[in-house]
Amino acid sequence: MKSFTNVFDLGDLNQALAEAFEIKKSRYQYEALGHHKTCLLIFFNNSLRTRLSTQKAARNLGMDVIVLDVNQGAWKLETERGVIMDGDKSEHLLEAIPVMASYCDLIGVRSFARFESRDDDYNEKILNQFIQYSGKPVFSMEAATGHPLQAFADLITIEEHKRTERPKVVLTWAPHPRALPQAVPNSFADFMNEANVDLVITHPEGYELDPKFVRGARVEYDQKRAFEGADFIYAKNWACPGVTRPEAYGQILSKDMSWTVDSEHMSWTNNAFFMHCLPVRRNMIVSDDVIEAPTSLVIPEAANREISATVVLKRLLQSL
């Protein structure tokens, strides 16, 4: 594996899951693989889980880790080519990338959607420059349109808790006070479409996800109908993806609190597990009682971020 940005980079998903469970049983078994190797983690945006779990994964594999918060202490980076750099940005990404790459063997990048241009975001303008100009294996730690380390951890968690061979998994939009990117729901759909689950996506009209990620999944605008018989509820907010309403890309179209997942919503399901990638706004996305219930998987899925990252970094190391 030369880079990791989506489900297809993993190849056979059952094989990847088997590797995840093998690593979970003995997470230091590949410690020799990363000896004298350095993993650089570059954050353009804040993080708790990704920052900690990816460092832990790199150390499981015996690597040294360097963490760079681009906006705290580094030179402010220009990302557009052709700009006259007479403003507050002192360094261009086109120099910074090969310089950073010269100090490491693997590079993780977190760079969220900027909502300035749908084309730039959906073409993964920042992440792809790292892939193109670093000459090193690059993995996404949440880019503009995908968060594959999260989705892989979510799939591991579903595999661990499923009660039927092919569970019904519902991805539901929920309200939020700020405009959030589509990276998590996109990658969740990307992974679930390749897994042995029955995926249903529910959201208010205007929030249609990009067809590249929805593929054959059922889209149901009636949240109650979507929840009926569900085994897993995966809640997430996202701003308008600009599919059916291009002019509204990145905007908040609704704050309808009737979409907040509470105990009444969960009563429509097949005693479903509740999932969310975290961080979560309580009583906007999910009620206190649902997130605190024994059926809430938010902590196990966060813990599985270490496992998904260990599998991915191990495979990237093996490609060197």
**What are the residues binding ligand CP (CB under 6 A)?**
47-50, 142, 150, 277-279
Q: Tell the smallest beta-carbon distance from residue 306 to ligand CP (Å).
A: 12
- Nearest residue to the partner ligand CP, using Cβ: 50
Q: Tell the smallest beta-carbon distance from residue 285 to ligand CP (Å).
A: 13
Q: Tell the smallest beta-carbon distance from residue 35 to ligand CP (Å).
A: 27
**Residue 30 or 234: which CB sits closer to ligand CP?**
234
Helix 13-25 to helix 298-318 angle (10° resolution) is 100
**Residue 33 or 68: which CB sits closer to ligand CP?**
68
Q: Tell the smallest beta-carbon distance from residue 320 to ligand CP (Å).
A: 26
Q: Tell the smallest beta-carbon distance from residue 146 to ligand CP (Å).
A: 12
**Residue 226 or 233: which CB sits closer to ligand CP?**
233
**Residue 96 or 275: which CB sits closer to ligand CP?**
275
**Residue 152 or 227: which CB sits closer to ligand CP?**
152
Q: Residue by residue, what is the 3-state secondary structure of the chain? A: CCEECCHHHHCCHHHHHHHHHHHHHCCCCCHHHHCCCEEEEEECCCCCHHHHHHHHHHHHCCCEEEEEECCCCCCCEECCCCCCCCCCCCEEHHHHHHHHHCCCCEEEEECCCCCCCHHHHHCCHHHHHHHHHHCCCEEECCCCCCCHHHHHHHHHHHHHHCCCCCCEEEEEECCCCCCCCCHHHHHHHHHHHHCCCEEEEECCCCCCCCHHHHCCCEECCCHHHHHCCCCEEEEECCCCCCCCCHHHCCCCCCCCHHHCECHHHHHCCCCCEEECCCCCCECCCECHHHHHCCCECHHHHHHHHHHHHHHHHHHHHHCC
Q: Tell the smallest beta-carbon distance from residue 49 to ligand CP (Å).
A: 4
Q: Tell the smallest beta-carbon distance from residue 56 to ligand CP (Å).
A: 13
